[in-house]
């Protein structure tokens, strides 16, 4: 059989002296990368008779898949729910800045807004690969406006909507387009929500349950129709009750269709969820936990007044409230902070904490063959971290896109 050497003349990079997160454990082996993909060294040696063109000493760092944030409303002064003339430059800024926090792919999230905002903003969001310009965009997450008035949280009540007779057409008219949409959060107790869930799922869009007063049977019915995610578990839903645990009960429900896994987002910022609640959820359903930041425009900025779509919010330390109230409105936590807090709060392994921000969101979106792992042939989006899980460098498609300043600044 002829050698595959002629397949590519692209340089092969070998990352040495590292511990790689693969198959749910840190393994002491080298990482081989070519043309943005992770190589199988056995095939390289035996089929291609190839060897490394470049060797990089990782100095005993952990190498883990890049983080994927499926719920981020903005950051660094940029609000994804505001229709501005320079929206594209805003999304570019956020995608650049989150590289330092280990995020290599994300879903820009819009909170409940008037139809005019969706019609202006969504055509400006396009799915794209990451690179030196910033983290990759996987598609938009539309959180609302088809949510419960009682559990609206920081969403403006005057923009909330219900499904009328032509439910799916209502949704299309509200959003204007679904071309770039990856996730839709809705309240499953709403009339006609089942047909909407079925239609969205048919189109490959992930349906998430949130901002809801649904009971457990309504939540189970939504999952049977195709819903696979829960938006920020415990927040903006009925509290757990032993006779009807509501949406929270999906974590241990015996009515989930065979072969289906329900995932759930958690804002592990030390504010939104008590560490004990984080531990309860993780121990009940560890393989479904997806860390999200739910970050707002004020992430990365000084305390003060900022926006979240149609609302003014106030940052006080790590707390973010709708101005003049004590209603929590998103977070200012970065993804690497959430990973460290999750690991500390639950006492879980380093591997588990890292997978909650990489493998699990990739599985949720059905992209685990490309993202969220360091398996052979997957995209070479990865991080170098120290043992305390601080990001030292971020790579996308095998190229270094961010590195910690050696001075530690």
Average pLDDT taken over every residue of the chain:
95
Cβ(367)–Cβ(313) below 8 Å = no
In tens, the pLDDT along 274-294 reads 999 999 999 999 999 999 999
In a domain, 1, yes or no: no
**Structural domain total, the chain:** 2
Q: Are residues 70 and 60 both part of a single domain?
A: no
> Where residue 254 sits, what CATH number does that domain have?
3.20.20.140
Report how far residue 39's alpha carbon sits from residue 12's, in angstroms, rounded to the nearest whole number.
Answer: 9
Does an H or E element contain 337, and which? helix 335-346
Residues making up the binding site? 143, 154, 211, 232, 235-236, 243, 272, 328-330
Cβ(281)–Cβ(320) below 8 Å = no
More confident of the two residues 164 and 78: 78
Residues making up the binding site for Zn(2+)? 143, 211, 232
Residue labelled with tokens 């971290």: 385
Q: Are residues 264 and 139 both part of a single domain?
A: yes
**Cis link prior to 360 (omega < 30° from 0)?**
no
Q: Are residues 324 and 382 both part of a single domain?
A: no
Report how far residue 79's alpha carbon sits from residue 305's, in angstroms, rounded to the nearest whole number.
Answer: 13
Q: Are residues 57 and 172 both part of a single domain?
A: no
Range of the domain at 181: 66-365
Q: Are residues 146 and 167 both part of a single domain?
A: yes
In a domain, 8, yes or no: no
The pTM assigned to this predicted structure is 0.96
> Where residue 379 sits, what CATH number does that domain have?
2.30.40.10
* Secondary structure letter of residue 282 according to DSSP: H
Q: Are residues 107 and 89 both part of a single domain?
A: yes
Q: Are residues 117 and 127 both part of a single domain?
A: yes
In a domain, 262, yes or no: yes
Q: Are residues 56 and 76 both part of a single domain?
A: no
Report how far residue 237's alpha carbon sits from residue 371's, in angstroms, rounded to the nearest whole number.
Answer: 30
Residue labelled with tokens 């057409």: 169
Pick from 329, 99, 133: which is nearest to 235 by CA? 329
Catalytically annotated residues? 294
CA distances from 160 to 98, 148, 378 (A): 30, 8, 40
In a domain, 202, yes or no: yes
Q: Are residues 211 and 303 both part of a single domain?
A: yes
pLDDT at 47 over 50: yes
In tens, the pLDDT along 353-406 reads 999 999 999 999 999 999 999 999 999 999 999 999 999 999 999 999 999 986
Q: Are residues 382 and 334 both part of a single domain?
A: no
Q: Are residues 308 and 336 both part of a single domain?
A: yes
Residue by residue, DSSP assigns 247-303 as GGGGGG-S-SPTT---EEEE--SSSSS-HHHHHHHHHH-GGGEEE---B-TTTTS-S
In a domain, 336, yes or no: yes
User: What pLDDT score does 2 carry?
Assistant: 39
Assign 155 to helix, strand or coil. Answer: coil
Q: Are residues 245 and 268 both part of a single domain?
A: yes
Residues making up the binding site for substrate? 154, 235-236, 243, 272, 328-330
User: What pLDDT score does 6 carry?
Assistant: 41
Cβ(206)–Cβ(228) below 8 Å = yes
In a domain, 409, yes or no: no
């Amino acid at each position: 059989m002829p050698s595959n050497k002629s397949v590519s003349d692209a340089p092969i990079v070998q990352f040495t002296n590292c511990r790689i997160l693969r198959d749910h454990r840190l393994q002491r082996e080298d990482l081989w990368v070519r043309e943005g993909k992770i190589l199988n060294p056995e095939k390289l040696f035996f089929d291609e008779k190839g060897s490394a063109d470049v060797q990089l000493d990782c100095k005993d760092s952990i190498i883990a898949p890049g983080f994927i944030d499926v719920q981020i409303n903005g950051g660094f002064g940029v609000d994804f729910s505001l229709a501005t003339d320079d929206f594209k430059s805003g999304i570019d800024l956020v995608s650049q800045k989150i590289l330092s926090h280990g995020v290599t792919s994300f879903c820009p999230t819009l909170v409940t807004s008037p139809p005019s905002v969706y019609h202006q903003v969504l055509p400006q969001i396009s799915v794209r690969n990451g690179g030196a310009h910033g983290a990759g965009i996987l598609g938009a997450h539309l959180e609302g406006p088809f949510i419960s008035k009682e559990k609206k949280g920081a969403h403006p009540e005057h923009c909330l909507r219900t499904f009328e007779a032509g439910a799916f057409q209502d949704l299309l008219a509200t959003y204007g387009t679904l071309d770039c949409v990856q996730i839709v959060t809705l309240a499953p107790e709403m009339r006609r929500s089942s047909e909407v869930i079925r239609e969205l799922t048919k189109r490959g869009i992930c349906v998430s349950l949130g901002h809801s007063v649904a009971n457990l049977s309504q939540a189970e019915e939504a999952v049977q129709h195709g819903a696979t995610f829960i938006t920020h578990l415990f927040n903006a839903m009925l509290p757990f009750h032993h006779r009807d645990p509501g949406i929270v009960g999906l974590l241990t429900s015996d009515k989930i269709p065979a072969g289906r896994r329900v995932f759930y987002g958690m804002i592990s910022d030390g504010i939104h969820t008590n560490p004990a609640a984080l531990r309860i959820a993780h121990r009940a359903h560890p393989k479904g936990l997806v860390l999200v930041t739910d970050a707002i425009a004020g992430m990365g900025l000084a305390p003060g007044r900022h926006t979240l779509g149609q609302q003014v919010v106030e940052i006080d330390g790590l707390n973010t409230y709708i101005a003049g109230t004590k209603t929590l409105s998103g977070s200012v936590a970065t993804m690497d902070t959430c990973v460290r807090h999750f690991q500390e709060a639950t006492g879980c392994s380093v591997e588990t904490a890292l997978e909650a921000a990489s493998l699990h969101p990739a599985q949720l979106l059905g992209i685990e063959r490309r993202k969220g792992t360091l398996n052979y042939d997957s995209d070479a989006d990865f991080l170098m971290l120290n043992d305390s899980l601080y990001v030292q460098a971020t790579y996308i498609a095998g190229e270094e896109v961010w590195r910690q300043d050696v001075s530690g600044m």
